[in-house]
Amino acid sequence: MSDNGKPKFAMYWAASCGGCEIAVLNINEKILDVDANFEVVFWPVAMDAKYKDVEAMPDKSILLTLFNGGIRNEENEHLAILLRQKSQILVAFGSCATEGCIPGLANFSNTDQIYEAVYEGVSTDNPNHIRPQYNYEVPEGTLHIPAFYPALRTLDQVVDVDYYMPGCPPESHQIAAVIDLVLKVLNGEAELPPKGAVIGAGNSTVCDECGRKRHVKSITKFVRIHEVDEIDPELCLLEQGILCNGPATRSGCGARCPGVGAACIGCYGPAEGVIDYGARLMTAVASVIDSNDPDEIDAILEGIPDPAGSFYRFSMPHSLLRMAKPAWSNGNR
Amino acid sequence: MSEQFEPVIIGFTCNWCSYRAADMAGTARIKYPPNIRLVRLMCSGRLDPTFVLKALSEGADGVLITGCHPGECHYLEQNYKALRRYRLLLKTIAQMGIEPERVKLVWASAAEGVQLARAITTFVEEIRALGPLRWPLRLAEMDIKETAAVEEVVA
Amino acid sequence: MTKYLFYPGCSMQKNARSYLDSMMAIRPELDITFEEVDDWNCCGATEYWSVHQVKAHALIGRNLALAEQQANGSNTLVAGCSACYLNLAKTANYLEEDLQLRAKIDDALAVGGLHFTPGSLDIRHLLDIVFNDVGLEKIRSKVVRPLTGLRVAPYYGCMIVRPDRENRYGNPEYPTALDKLLEALGATVIDFPQKTHCCGGHMTQISPEVAYELLHRLISGADRYNADLIVTLCPMCQLNLDAYQGDMNTFMDTDYHMPCLYFTQMMGLAFGHDPKELGIGKEFVDAGPALAKIGVELPEAEERPKPKPRRKQKQEGLPMPRMGDGNE
Amino acid sequence: MSNKQNQPQDEKERIGVYVCHCGSNIAGVVDVEDVAVWAKEELGDQGVVVSRDYKFMCSSLGQEMIENDIKEQGLNRVVVAACSPHLHEATFRKACERAGLNPYLSELVSIREQVSWVHTDKEKATEKAKAMVAGGVERVIENEPLEPLRVPIHPATLVVGGGIAGIQAALEIADAGYQVYMVEREPSIGGHMAQFDKTFPTLDCAACILTPKMVSVGEHPNIELLTWSEVERVEGYVGNFSVTVRKRPRYVDTDLCTGCGICWEKCPKKVIDEDFEQGLGYRTAVYTPFPQAVPKYPVIDTESCIFFANGKCKACEKLCPTGAINFDQEEEILLLEVGNIIIATGFDTFDARRIPEYGYGRLANVFTSVEFERMCNAAGPTNGEVVLRDGVTKPEAVGIVHCVGSRDRNYNNYCSVICCMSSLKFAHLVKERTGAEVYNFYIDMRTAYKDYDEFYQRVMEEGVLFVRGRVAEITDATRNPGEEGKLVVQVEDTLAGRQRRIPVDMAILSVGLQPPSDTKEVAQRFGISCSASGWITEKHPKLDPVATMTEGIFIAGAIQGPKDIPTSVAQGAAAAARVLGRINKGEMYLEPIRATVDPEKCSGCRICNNLCPFGAIIFHEDLMVTEINHALCQGCGTCVAACPAGAISGTGFSNEQVLSQIEGLLAYSFPKDFELVEMVPA
């Protein structure tokens, strides 16, 4: 408990887009409850704070830390370790922190390829082919920028995580619900869920919340959404040949995308107990292909031009393989 | 220690055909290299791509999937489901920089002990030629390093 | 208009000229064209294999290489002669399967600046093209002078159906493609028991007695079914059945008169072509009487020297001493 | 979020590992002591508290060792490293059960079939054995206690097919006092046996021994006979199948018909009988296939009946003394409730036309074996006279060709079993009835079983000639004197080592047996499988020949593979015995390897819905969740593997079990000094 008696709250933004932060603000007036019940001690996007201030805090002095973003460089890693050490409850907040998300797609490439894209790309003017140097000697001494790691890791691959809150970003109503829960716990009106639990989401998958009609499935052709003249507003997208991640994706979002005729892309991650999101989707989709002939099957699969990208868009770093071979073989140099 | 690379291979077998074929290979004392370790499933249709990825992520250099010949499935048609998943799995792992040749599907009936042994021998050689995959194991090690770091900080 | 590469082979240029002529004559009806392989050479016939396998393959390999060079668009190589067809197909097949042989042949061809890619050509016999590509439907539609009332014995010989993995002519043991073709032309087709039996091949040269025996089986078989003529698809068969029938008669002392024509000639007749244009009238055993049944008038068969009957070898007395190297 | 977390954490594992020497079978190659010691040391953390090796674990002493440890050491998991589970899984499960441990908390690791018998390098073999033990240990930790599934057995039985095998099965069950439904496609039961004249090797007349059985089927109070009928659909599972049968209209009211036969005597329409008489004889449009037909009621063949053709005639209706003819009869659909099903749909014969060089269909005097059976039959088209196609001439020489369509890679690769004996029978009958010269052309003479070879010898003594060699062709193309007007059998006599041409007047082709053309569909309808050659696959070729992979469905007779009458009868009885055992027990227990849907997790996406060939997956529209019927589920696990939500779990082969086994198998497989990828800055 702190001086003003309020429990301390922290939020940090590692390798991610910042959408999670916006999502938190999207809870509107609920944010006032946060302010009313918590003392925000560290939230770079919302208030000024220095790492050294955090380092100075006593261990476990922060009650709740919402950590969004993956671990891509030394700085992310340092803060992850630091906040773990200072916090009682560390929540992997949002898809990046829980399973890697879009930044995690970089795990398909090795550092050179990434640098190539970033520093030498068509849109980049870099005649001298300058690449970052982590230590740079100047008369005043050595300049240092955080080292870039060969692959992105999820928060729980770096430190011990108490809860997971999926979503890219987590739906605001779910955030609000979680905050309510924490407040209830503070007032002794509720119990904390068991360690390692996924909070702010459902136990089933998106289809559970999806209003579309569905039947026995048997797929003869995969099409991409722009290849369909007219999407049946009533019918399950997968049954229309559109690769929809709904069946494998944890519920909680309210099936918003399929609701408006856009296929689910899986930002809420795997359902309870699933250890490899992509594999589940892969096996499900393949199982309902309506052919027993290898060539015909391959022909049908032509309709999924980028399986790895479609199945692991959000979960690559948290998949069984975690990264494509180039990422680690490159690390070997 | 011999110089040549000894691949480690996980084989998935169907309880009704290929597992019995393995039994038969044994009973007939047909020899094949010890590089393969078999896992029994009730049917190749039970094969979840997760199992294959698990094997690879745990360091296997190759995975052999076996099932009843098309049309001879003990459960009538489930081996076809295995086939469908297999085709998609190959496509996917190729994108992850894994040679698709490392995951192979062969059919073997309960009577085909010889054929199974031959298939295993061939596959071991194919993987030997491809060289080690040994999917990081090492990735796990990275984590150990980090959690160690946590201890430091705490200390 | 489908284009095929064509390998004539020596016999179609000479003794089987009428086969070539009739084949050329019916192209328009079949709506196909042939492009002859430039600078083709002998296929080695049936003999060269027993002389030297590899050389035989090389000899044929050259024809295949030339054909491949020429194959723009159509990669189907057609031979009318069964022996040519079998040899070409055989080598193409061996080269696909036997890598050592392939290496040898590659070297051999390389000397002549040639190369053959196994699998690049589809080698087929003329009957295969007519029966499977053109098809009976089309053929029926072109018939203007049905061969009604003519009893024909369809004779395949031994070479095109052995092997016939794709069953292109029906069951290899008992092919029916030619039967069906002739029926389509309106002829009465007999269930010819010897349809794939041996015609004697080059035995006529090596050991005539054997050849005569074999020829007798075929001709008597056709005769027993009251066939008016035998229809064939192989120059060697035609030659033996036609040119050696007289000798056979003498030897067996029988008096068969069983003309033997090519299926292309029969098609030509049915399509209403002039017999002369189809090379009919050149055969030793006059087909005139048979063809009269379908109202085809043959021009007066020009006087041709009757092949003089071979003297029967004398059984009594000592045999003559062998002369020279034994080639008679 | 690892897979371990949502496992019910039961009390700390106490695992016993038992490594079997199997005499020297395992110990000869694998250092079993080393494996046992290693398991204790290396797998202690996983909970291995006891680890022993023993000469023969499957011996009573070996089993007692396990039982005692369970009791005294309080083991709650057992791993046995020995032979294949298909041999001794049951043994060790029982041992655990006796000691009060749930049998499914044990694992049998096959280090004999999969290690010692197939590998030679002792060191590597031992390494692999260790890895496999580790896999077994990791797996057994995830094993759950299971209880076998209990299902009640409906006492009625369906027998499909009224041949001798089906008849035998039906009578056995009916005599035991239980209801049997027999469905037969033809107008009468009797099957192929009814077509025969004599039966080998005893030569007793087929009708004389078959008819009584047919009659007792027809009269049996416990047998409901459904001829001219076919099974349309089969639903349900062992113990309670519901079967839909389509009963075609006979156009004869069986309550009124006395089978007097006036109708078929008077019927003006004669047609060639392609079925029973094999095209050798005639029947009328209203007919019973043969005099002793059961049931005795005729059927009207709408194809040939004049009335059905042009609405006139009705002679039969006019002349029927009991007014039993009823042209308005319609097909009936019957629904049967049965607990077990016996399939005895028999065989078809090979179509000899497929081998044109044998001339069947081209050469008048080439007959098939079935045609000849009819010809020999006193009630047949020639009243038992053996004559040529012209119907009068007796043959002076007859050639019998064995293996027509059998043992031939171009047709059926297998041996049809019965042809040698039936060919010998034909040879005897020809001799007996015509005194003709008889040649048997055989590849190998196969006269296994009781009194068969004696019959062979007898036929040889009767002066029948045997030529060993495959017939090349049968032709009318004569070549040598004496061949005129005859059929010439061209054959390589492999004993004389030369080609022979044997002129005969009549050739009999002993055509092989093959599965009825629609067997694949039938198999699908009953949820069982066919082998590559098309016969229905038995559960075990040696140890369970009359059961199928699908519980409650049995097979008998030739549908399981070519066989003769004695074996078919034996199988019919065997299948009946299996069924009776179950009926008497009233219930049965099924391996609890089943899939289950967690309704909480199921999103009702319906991915799994068409993955089950046994129809075990049911979707509840109202609740929008899928459910799996445990009695129908066969435990293949395809749906488990397919569920995108991971909502389906499979007992016996759960994800946790398999994944942990994989971990175990690999954990000890790599050199420790493996170079690591450091997370170093690029």
Interchain CB distance below 8 Å, A321 and B53? yes
Cis preceding linkage at D201, omega within 30: yes
- The reply to whether C303 falls in a domain is no
Residue A1: pLDDT over 50: no
Interchain CB distance below 8 Å, B71 and D124? no
Side by side, the strands of the sheet bearing D471-475 are: D471-475, D487-493, D498-504
Q: Which residues, 6 or more positions from C262, have their beta carbon under 8 angstroms from its beta carbon?
A: C16, C18, C19, C22, C23, C231, C232, C233, C238
CA distance D441 to chain C (A): 19
Residue A331: pLDDT over 90: no
Structure tokens at B121: 């021998």
Domains and CATH numbers, chain B: 9-154 (3.40.50)
Looking at the structure, tell me whether residues C257 and C155 fall in a common domain.
yes
- Domain range for C211: 144-292
Interchain CB distance below 8 Å, D477 and C193? yes
Interchain CB distance below 8 Å, A325 and B97? yes
Mutation site for B-interface testing, chosen from A83, A288, A321 by largest number of B Cβ within 10 Å: A321
Q: Are D80 and D93 contacting, i.e. CB atoms less than 8 angstroms apart?
A: no
- Domains of chain A by residue range: 1-201+321-333, 206-302
Coil/strand/helix, residue C168: strand
Chain D partners (3+ C-beta pairs within 8 A): A, B, C
D671: buried, middle or exposed (CB in 10 Å: 19+, 13-18, 0-12)? exposed
- Is there an interface between C and D (3+ Cβ pairs < 8 A)? yes
Interchain CB distance below 8 Å, B50 and A275? yes
Looking at the structure, tell me whether residues C149 and C281 fall in a common domain.
yes
Query: How would you classify the pairing of strands D366-368 and D348-349?
Result: unpaired
Interchain CB distance below 8 Å, B88 and A286? yes
User: Chain D within 8 Å of B125 (Cβ-Cβ)?
Assistant: no
CA distance C161 to chain D (A): 14
Residue D76: DSSP 8-state: S
Domains and CATH numbers, chain D: 15-146+658-667 (3.40.50), 158-240+335-347+518-590 (3.50.50.60), 249-330 (3.30.70), 348-514 (3.50.50.60), 591-651 (3.30.70.20)
- The reply to whether C135 falls in a domain is no
Residue D676: pLDDT over 80: no
pLDDT band at D533 (very low <50, low <70, confident <90, very high): confident
**Long-range contacts of C136-141, Cβ-Cβ distance < 8 Å, separation of 24 or more:** C136/C180, C136/C181, C136/C184, C138/C30, C138/C31, C139/C29, C139/C30, C139/C181, C139/C184, C139/C185, C139/C267, C140/C184
Q: What is the pLDDT of residues B51-62, one digit of tens each?
A: 999 999 989 999
User: Chain D within 8 Å of C171 (Cβ-Cβ)?
Assistant: yes
Structure tokens at D111: 């280090």
pLDDT band at B137 (very low <50, low <70, confident <90, very high): low
User: Chain D within 8 Å of C17 (Cβ-Cβ)?
Assistant: no
* pLDDT value of residue C197: 92
Q: Which of C92, C126, C160 is the last residue of a domain?
A: C126
Structure tokens at A5: 């008696």
- Is there an interface between C and B (3+ Cβ pairs < 8 A)? no
D501: buried, middle or exposed (CB in 10 Å: 19+, 13-18, 0-12)? middle
* pLDDT value of residue A130: 87
User: Chain D within 8 Å of C221 (Cβ-Cβ)?
Assistant: yes
Mean pLDDT (whole number) for A141-167: 92
Say how far apart CA A280 and CA A285 lie, in whole Å. 9
Residues of chain D neighbouring C174 (CB-CB closer than 8 A):
356-357
Q: Are B42 and B83 contacting, i.e. CB atoms less than 8 angstroms apart?
A: no
Q: Which residues, 6 or more positions from D645, have their beta carbon under 8 angstroms from its beta carbon?
A: A204, A205, A247, A248, A271, A274, A280, D601, D602, D603, D605
Q: Are C80 and C21 contacting, i.e. CB atoms less than 8 angstroms apart?
A: no
- Return the half-sphere exposure (C-beta side, CA atoms, 13 A cut-off) of residue C88: 34
Q: Are D661 and D136 contacting, i.e. CB atoms less than 8 angstroms apart?
A: yes
List the 19-58 stretch of B: residues with Cβ below 8 A of D: 19-20, 22-23, 25-27, 29-34, 37-43, 45-48, 50-51, 54-55, 58
Q: What is the pLDDT of residues A45-97, one digit of tens each?
A: 989 989 999 999 999 999 999 999 999 999 999 999 999 999 999 999 999 99
pLDDT band at D64 (very low <50, low <70, confident <90, very high): very high
* pLDDT value of residue D1: 38
Q: What is the pLDDT of residues D622-636, one digit of tens each?
A: 999 999 998 888 899
- The reply to whether C13 falls in a domain is yes
Interchain CB distance below 8 Å, B70 and A292? yes
Structure tokens at A132: 């970052």
Looking at the structure, tell me whether residues C17 and C151 fall in a common domain.
no
Residue C11: DSSP 8-state: H
CA distance B110 to chain A (A): 21
Interchain CB distance below 8 Å, B146 and A158? yes
Looking at the structure, tell me whether residues C46 and C150 fall in a common domain.
no
**Long-range contacts of C96-103, Cβ-Cβ distance < 8 Å, separation of 24 or more:** C101/C54, C101/C57
Q: Are A49 and A42 contacting, i.e. CB atoms less than 8 angstroms apart?
A: yes
Angular region, D191: left φ>0, alpha ψ -120 to 50, beta rest = left
Residue of D nearest to A213 (CA): D605
Q: Are D241 and D339 contacting, i.e. CB atoms less than 8 angstroms apart?
A: yes
Residue D238: pLDDT over 50: yes
- The reply to whether C317 falls in a domain is no
Residue B148: pLDDT over 60: no
Within a 10 A sphere around the Cβ of D500, how many other Cβ atoms? Answer: 15
CA distance A127 to chain B (A): 31
| CA D394 to mean position of chain CA atoms | 42
Q: What CATH number should be reported for the domain holding residue C99?
A: 1.20.1050.140
Residue A190: DSSP 8-state: S
Q: Are D667 and D137 contacting, i.e. CB atoms less than 8 angstroms apart?
A: no
Residues of chain B neighbouring D677 (CB-CB closer than 8 A):
136, 138-139, 141-142
Q: What per-residue string of b and e applies to C127-152 under the rule 16 or more CB within 10 Å gives b?
A: bbbbbeebebeebeebbebebeebbb
Mean pLDDT (whole number) for A99-128: 91
Angular region, D384: left φ>0, alpha ψ -120 to 50, beta rest = left
The sign of the torsion formed by the CA atoms of B82, B85, B91, B95 equals negative
Least trusted range by pLDDT, from C184-193, D337-346, D506-515, D667-676? D667-676
The strand ranges marked E within D169-257 are 180-183, 198-199, 204-205, 223-226, 229-237, 240-247
Residues of chain B neighbouring A321 (CB-CB closer than 8 A):
53, 56-57, 96, 135
pTM of the complete model:
0.74
Residue D9: pLDDT over 70: no
Residue C60: pLDDT over 50: yes
Mutation site for C-interface testing, chosen from D470, D475, D483, D486 by largest number of C Cβ within 10 Å: D475
Residue D678: pLDDT over 80: no
* % of chain D with per-residue pLDDT over 90: 84
- The reply to whether C305 falls in a domain is no
Q: Judge: domain A1-201+321-333, CATH 3.90.420.10.
A: no
Coil/strand/helix, residue D89: helix
CA distance D487 to chain C (A): 11
CA distance D483 to chain C (A): 12
Interchain CB distance below 8 Å, B95 and A324? yes
Q: Which residues, 6 or more positions from A140, have their beta carbon under 8 angstroms from its beta carbon?
A: none
Interchain CB distance below 8 Å, D679 and A246? no
| CA D40 to mean position of chain CA atoms | 47
Residue with tokens 């749906």: D639
Residue D545: pLDDT over 50: yes
Looking at the structure, tell me whether residues C248 and C192 fall in a common domain.
yes
- Return the half-sphere exposure (C-beta side, CA atoms, 13 A cut-off) of residue C32: 22
ipTM: 0.69
Q: What is the mean pLDDT of chain D?
A: 93
Structure tokens at B128: 């030997």
Residue C318: pLDDT over 50: no
Mean pLDDT (whole number) for D69-87: 95
CA distance D357 to chain C (A): 6
- Element (DSSP H or E) covering residue D592: none
* pLDDT value of residue C321: 45
Q: Which of B137-151, C285-299, D351-365 reaches the highest mean pLDDT?
A: D351-365
Looking at the structure, tell me whether residues C159 and C274 fall in a common domain.
yes
Say how far apart CA D116 and CA D27 lie, in whole Å. 8
pLDDT band at B111 (very low <50, low <70, confident <90, very high): confident
Residue D492: pLDDT over 60: yes
Structure tokens at C23: 């084949």
Looking at the structure, tell me whether residues C149 and C287 fall in a common domain.
yes
Residue C323: pLDDT over 80: no
Q: Are D115 and D20 contacting, i.e. CB atoms less than 8 angstroms apart?
A: no
Q: Which residues, 6 or more positions from A200, have their beta carbon under 8 angstroms from its beta carbon?
A: A165, A166, A167, A170, A171, A174, A175, A177, A178, A252
Q: Which of C126, C161, C189 is the last residue of a domain?
A: C126
Interchain CB distance below 8 Å, D355 and C221? no
Residue of C nearest to D484 (CA): C224
Coil/strand/helix, residue D590: strand
Which residues of D sit within 8 Å Cβ distance of A? 1-3, 5-6, 600-611, 619, 624, 638, 641-647, 655, 659, 677-682
Mean pLDDT (whole number) for A11-27: 93
* pLDDT value of residue C300: 62
As for how many domains chain C has, the answer is 2
CA distance A4 to chain D (A): 36
CA distance B112 to chain A (A): 22
pLDDT band at D103 (very low <50, low <70, confident <90, very high): very high
User: Chain D within 8 Å of B100 (Cβ-Cβ)?
Assistant: no
Interchain CB distance below 8 Å, D613 and B76? yes
Q: What CATH number should be reported for the domain holding residue C245?
A: 3.40.50.11810
* pLDDT value of residue C313: 47
pLDDT band at B153 (very low <50, low <70, confident <90, very high): very low
* pLDDT value of residue B1: 45
List the 286-305 stretch of C: residues with Cβ below 8 A of D: none
* pLDDT value of residue B150: 36
CA distance B27 to chain A (A): 33
Q: Are B61 and B127 contacting, i.e. CB atoms less than 8 angstroms apart?
A: yes
Looking at the structure, tell me whether residues C165 and C234 fall in a common domain.
yes
Q: Which residues, 6 or more positions from D651, have their beta carbon under 8 angstroms from its beta carbon?
A: D144, D146, D592, D593, D594, D595, D596, D635
Q: What is the pLDDT of residues C218-272, one digit of tens each?
A: 999 999 999 999 999 999 999 999 999 999 999 999 999 999 999 999 999 999 9
Say how far apart CA C72 and CA D405 lie, in whole Å. 45
* % of chain C with per-residue pLDDT over 90: 77
